[in-house]
Amino acid sequence: MVVPRQTLARWVIGCAGLLQPLHNLTRDILLDCSLLHMDETVVQVLKEKDKAPTSNSYMWVQTGGPPDKPVALYDYDRSRSAAVPIRLLEGYKGYLMTDGYDGYNALERGGDIIRLACWAHVPVR
């Protein structure tokens, strides 16, 4: 069975719209926690408007949640700039464990977020 690309795209877009309330609820649960973990990883998207196929995009992963109900949320963005974690964690107050990437530094400026270092990213000397 061959399904045209446009049909698949329409299905994915339709599902995304239907699942948006679940995404919003998951984010609310995540932002209610006192400790979050966050990291970004490279994703290469071959066909993206106004972007070269060899350029990088990023998947931003946030984990937290109640101890008995962990939550993981994945957000795609074309950028790795500090504006992305600022937007994703808007309104959050608590501790944030990250790697040493400087893009997270701006989150500490308001005083609501205290950044913690991730031991998995600490260099061994």
Output b/e per residue, 79-101; b: 16+ Cβ within 10 A: ebebebbbebbeebeeebbbeee
In the three-class reduction of DSSP (H, G, I as helix; E, B as strand; rest coil), residue 63 is classed as: strand
Predicted TM-score (pTM) of the model is 0.83
Whole-number average pLDDT of the chain:
90
pLDDT at 44: 82
Tell me how many domains the chain contains. Answer: 1
Mean pLDDT of 16-39: 95
pLDDT at 22: 94
Q: Which residue has the tokens 């989150």?
A: 107
Lowest mean pLDDT among 12-16, 84-88, 114-118: 114-118
**What are the pLDDT digits (tens) for 48-67?**
778 787 788 999 999 998 88
pLDDT at 121: 66
pLDDT at 109: 87
Domain span holding position 46 = 5-121
Q: Which helix (H) or strand (E) holds 115?
A: strand 113-117
CATH number (domain holding residue 76): 3.30.420
